[in-house]
Amino acid sequence: MQLEGLALLFQNYGLALWLVLLALVLSCLAWLAIVQSRVGRMSWHYRSLTNNVDEGNLEQLLENHLTHLYQVSLKVDDLAAFCQELDQASRRAVQRVGIVRFNPFNDTGGDQSFAIALLDALGNGLVISSLYSRTGNRIFAKSLEGGQSKYPLTEEEQQAITQAVSVSVRS
């Protein structure tokens, strides 16, 4: 009796059942192709990651990368310390310069005399003045702290300091 029912079912719906079964098999094959493609890509990626490792395992590769990362981190720390030292040293270097040329005497022609201010980032340094006359040349130097001197400054020296202080410096 059951065989008759199955025979009747296949007789009435056989083509539809075969088509459903074919669609199911084709969808399984498509899914299998997609999975195979993904596994192939993952396998290729894994091989490319472990290409330079002798045993070809990911653990060894990660250990090598971590060792290299640690060494690079130490070098970055050394470079940061070196940059800080350079920054501190550059603050004491001459960074600001101001110069004023002038004629202090009526009997000489041109602006042969000058005052030059040489300052670091904090305004420390010196101002040098040169007074030119027909009979000779006199040179004076005055130390500066914070753009100020403990010695009296001429108008030209003060102008040179003002010029130097107005130069922008990275802080």
Whether 10 shows a pLDDT value over 90: the answer reads: no
- The pLDDT assigned to 42 comes to 92
Instruction: Give the H/E segment covering residue 162.
Output: helix 155-166
- Cα–Cα distance for residue pair 56/36, rounded to 1 Å: 22
Residue 59 Cα distances to 29, 64, 100, 125, angstroms: 35, 9, 69, 59
Q: Which residues contact 149 (CB under 8 A, 6 or more apart)?
A: 127, 142, 143
Tell me if residue 114 falls in helix, strand or coil. strand
What is the phi-psi region of residue 120: left when phi exceeds 0, alpha when psi lies from -120 to 50, beta otherwise?
beta
Tokens 């000058």, located at residue:
114
Tokens 């970055």, located at residue:
76
Query: What are the structural domain ranges in the chain?
Result: 1-49, 55-91, 96-166
Kindly report the pTM of this predicted structure.
Answer: 0.55
Whether 116 shows a pLDDT value over 70: the answer reads: yes
pLDDT digits (tens, 9 = 90+) for 41-95: 999 988 777 776 666 567 777 888 899 999 999 999 999 999 999 988 888 889 8
Whether 106 shows a pLDDT value over 80: the answer reads: no
